[in-house]
């Protein structure tokens, strides 16, 4: 609906805007918010997200979707913003690196400007990548990170770092209510089967009987969080009556090597695929594990889903979608 001056308005007064709402995590946020009785406006340019991710929500009268690129201004009437728009997997964010930096910087400025005009809270989906290849282990929020400013991952890492700066400056300068979560590797249903992330790659390869692509020696570590646990933390942070600003690490601190992950996937799928070692990508972090004590203390949140259980649910999803 337009007011004649080019301004777009939503129909609802109590609407939560989810940018990147047609993506993997965004679609789960939209679903959870609808379950909790909110009106949801999903804004997405479908760069990596799909209509399929939100197909089951389209007939819900409390859900609305708008195709829009957040590097351009957006004028809507909402009561809170989850800012998730940004490609998240290395192959996607490196495909158009200038756009990746733009979505974190220009996109955040646009969404922060919107939040400021409306005086509403805004949550930023930041990332463990802001720690780069960390020299402190496990990573704690007070660690400032070890990022290569000119490498192929910098468009994402530095974009997200600048977004955090913008969020905290809008808070200091304009008293904007902000929330920043640093998301550690998250997996689950609706990951894109070809987005190159390790959990989806290994499952899809195992189900298709293709070689399992282990980069480097496979001894690098990651800590994998099931999407439902992440979404609980993000919604709890937004709904918290305390002024919990973060940055808060959100992830599951149980750490695995990529070889261990591959072995679990092979065992669970019953696949006969063999491991195939490929070169380690440039600047690939050697280890990653969140210290989540701050989130536990300030939100009373702790992840509930083990990798064992989360993999079962994710494998079931891919079995169904791959047919
Ligand atoms: P995703 O690629 O599935 O989702 C990103 C969504 O943003 C997609 O729907 C995409 O189309 C949309 N988008 C991209 N550019 C846009 C633009 N200019 N305007 C509007 N929409 C745009 O990725 P995801 O895994 O769901 O990640 C969501 C957010 O969480 C991202 O901000 C990502 O950086 C962050 N994050 C994710 C992980 C993870 O493990 N999945 C880890 C750390 C941080
Ligand atoms: N990885 C791998 N095989 C793949 C995809 C990724 O061994 O097919 C490795 C990758 O090198 C990294 C880890 O798995 O060490 C996690 O990669 P992902 O892209 O999922 O996330 P990120 O590197 O952003 O943490």
pLDDT digits 0-9 by tens, 201-230: 999 999 999 999 999 999 999 999 999 999
Residue 4 has pLDDT above 70, yes or no: no
Place of tokens 């939209």: 30
**226, 252 contact by CB (below 8 A):** yes
Q: Is residue 161 part of a domain?
A: yes
d(CA 132, CA 284): 9
Q: What is the mean pLDDT of residues 96-110?
A: 98
pLDDT value, residue 96 = 97
**With contact defined as beta carbons under 8 Å apart, do 199 and 314 qualify?**
yes
Does residue 169 form part of some domain? yes
pLDDT at 5 over 60: no
HSE-up of 270 (CA within 13 Å, CB side)? Answer: 2
Residue 311 lies inside a defined structural domain of this protein? no
Q: Examine the pLDDT at 275 and tell me if it is beyond 70.
A: yes
Pocket test for ligand 1, best of 27, 31, 48, 197 (most atoms within 8 A of CB): 48
Ligand 2 pocket member 213 (CB < 6 A): yes
The pLDDT value recorded for residue 204 is 98
Q: How confident is the model at residue 242 (pLDDT cuts 50, 70, 90)?
A: confident
Statement: residue 86 has pLDDT above 50:
yes
Predicted confidence at residue 112, as pLDDT, reads 98
Residue 126 has what pLDDT?
A: 98
Q: What is the mean pLDDT of residues 107-130?
A: 97
Q: What is the pTM for the complete model shown?
A: 0.95
What six digits make up the tokens of 69? 């690129």
Q: Does 215 sit in the ligand 2 pocket, CB within 6 Å?
A: yes
Indicate whether 13 pLDDT > 90.
no
**Above 50 in pLDDT, residue 2?**
no
Q: What is the CA(197)–ligand 2 centre distance, in A? A: 6
| Index of the ligand 2 atom closest to the CA of residue 153 | 24
State percent of the chain over pLDDT 90.
93
Whether 271 maps to a domain, the answer reads: no
Residue 210 lies in a domain: no
The total of structural domains in the chain comes to 1
In a domain, 6, yes or no: no
203 domain residue, yes or no: no
Does residue 157 sit within a domain? yes
For 247, the domain range is: 15-185+227-252+289-303
pLDDT-above-70 percentage for the chain: 96
Give the ligand whose atoms come closest to the C-alpha of residue 288.
Answer: 2
- The mean pLDDT of the chain is 94
Average pLDDT of span 138-153? 96
Residue 160 in contact with ligand 2 by CB distance below 6 A = no
Question: What CATH number did the domain enclosing 148 receive?
Answer: 3.40.50.720
318 CA distance to ligand 2 middle (Å): 18
Averaged pLDDT, 302-319: 98
Mean pLDDT of 118-128: 97
CA distances from 9 to 6, 109, 282 (A): 10, 20, 44
**CA-to-CA dists, residue 282 to 86, 130, 278, angstroms:** 21, 16, 12
């Amino acid at each position: 609906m337009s007011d004649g001056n080019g301004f777009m308005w939503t129909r609802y007064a109590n609407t939560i805007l989810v940018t990147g709402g047609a993506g993997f995590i965004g679609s789960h946020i939209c679903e959870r918010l609808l379950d909790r009785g909110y009106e949801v406006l999903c804004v997405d340019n479908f760069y990596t997200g799909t209509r399929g991710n939100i197909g089951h929500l389209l007939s819900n009268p409390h859900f609305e979707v708008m195709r829009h690129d957040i590097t351009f201004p957006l004028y809507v009437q909402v009561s809170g913003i989850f800012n998730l728009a940004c490609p998240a997997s290395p192959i996607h964010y490196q495909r158009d690196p200038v756009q990746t930096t733009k979505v974190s910087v220009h996109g955040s400025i646009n969404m922060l400007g919107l939040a400021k005009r409306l005086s509403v809270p805004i949550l930023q989906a930041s990332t463990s990548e802001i720690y780069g290849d960390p020299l402190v282990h496990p990573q704690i929020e007070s660690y400032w990170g070890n990022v290569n400013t000119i490498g192929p991952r910098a468009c994402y890492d530095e974009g997200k770092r600048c977004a955090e700066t913008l969020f905290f400056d809008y808070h200091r300068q304009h008293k904007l209510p902000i929330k920043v979560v640093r998301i550690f590797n998250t997996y689950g249903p609706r990951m894109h089967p070809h987005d190159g992330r390790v959990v989806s790659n290994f499952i899809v390869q195992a189900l298709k009987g293709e070689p399992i692509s282990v980069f480097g020696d496979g001894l690098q570590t990651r800590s994998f969080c099931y999407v439902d646990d992440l979404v609980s933390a993000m919604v709890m942070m937004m709904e918290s009556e305390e002024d919990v600003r973060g940055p808060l690490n959100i992830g599951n601190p149980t750490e695995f090597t990529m070889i261990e992950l591959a072995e679990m996937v092979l065992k669970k799928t019953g696949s006969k695929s063999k491991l195939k070692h490929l070169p380690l990508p440039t600047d690939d972090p050697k280890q990653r594990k969140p210290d989540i004590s701050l989130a536990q203390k300030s939100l009373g949140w702790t992840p509930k889903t083990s990798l064992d259980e989360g993999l079962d649910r994710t494998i079931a999803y891919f079995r169904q979608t791959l047919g």
